[in-house]
Amino acid sequence: MDKRYHQALLASLSPAREIHVVWRIALGSLFNKFVIIIPLALLLSAFAPWVLPFLLVIGGTYLCFEGAEKVTEWFGVRHSTEESEPRDEGKLIFGAIRTDLVLSTEILLIALASLDPDFGVWMTLGALVVIGFGMTVLVYGVVALLVKIDDVGLALMKNPVRRMRRTGAHIVRSMPAVFRVIGIIGTLAMLWVGGHLVIANLADTFWHGPYYVLHAVTDAVEAGGPVAVWVTDTALSAVFGLILGLLIVAIISGIARLLRNKSEQSVREVPGADNLP
């Protein structure tokens, strides 16, 4: 689930509702995977496998956009006032499940593309079910832990043992930094994975340029060993993802600005609009 939705949920919910909300989102995530994503992925792989690289390019581009948008937010750029507006629990959960649908689709499509093509339908289905269920348990288990760990710290601060109180205070003080680090790592991971997906799958569709450049550079550092190759590949994929994402952010921001200006101009052209309070 996108960190933006985590922040919105935690900011507007009482501690007693947090685990309930995480549970509902996890159920929605399972519905996404088992009812929507896996059946459609199997149908596409059986009847239109040529579509999968294009879907991975689209999904990778989305990850690049999300990552680049977060990078611009680090520098104080605001893209929407939606997060500051109060939303009820149901809308927050729906938004998180919708975001989960996009991210889970990409992960399961990547998993499907990496499976042995000689697998039968049932083995492929079984592998995707195991991956989808395990991913859901891992992700939302960690989310539930992070949501409640500050409560653990507060409880320890009330312990009569001084060492326990100090441990609890340390947990509470460290959580903001932990969430910041998680946000940075998550953003870099989105840029890396998104950039790599776009580069690799563009090469499988119609444009080999970025793929050839990436491999030319990694071949040049191959003498440095596998670690140097991996670091170079990862860094270049992330840079490509950032550039692509910033381009999309600029396009979307420009379109939004044009639409906003057009709307404001239409309001000004209404007779008597200047006299409105």
Report how far residue 106's alpha carbon sits from residue 114's, in angstroms, rounded to the nearest whole number. 12
How far is residue 153 CA from its own chain's centroid? Answer: 28
- Per-residue pLDDT for 49 more than 50? yes
pLDDT value, residue 28: 94
- Per-residue pLDDT for 13 more than 80? no
Cβ neighbours of 135 (radius 10 Å): 17
Report how far residue 59's alpha carbon sits from residue 67's, in angstroms, rounded to the nearest whole number. 12
CB 221 within 8 A of CB 232: yes
What is the pTM for the complete model shown?
A: 0.77
- Boundaries of every domain in the chain: 3-264
- Per-residue pLDDT for 200 more than 80? yes
Sign of CA dihedral 107, 113, 115, 118: positive
The string of pLDDT tens digits covering residues 25-42 is: 999 999 999 999 999 999
- Per-residue pLDDT for 10 more than 80? no
For tokens 């760990």, the residue is: 149
**Tokens linked to 42:** 């199997």
**Tokens linked to 124:** 């492929």
- Per-residue pLDDT for 87 more than 80? no
- Per-residue pLDDT for 150 more than 90? no
The string of pLDDT tens digits covering residues 235-271 is: 999 999 999 999 999 999 999 888 888 877 776 665 6
**Cα distance between the two ends of the chain:** 42
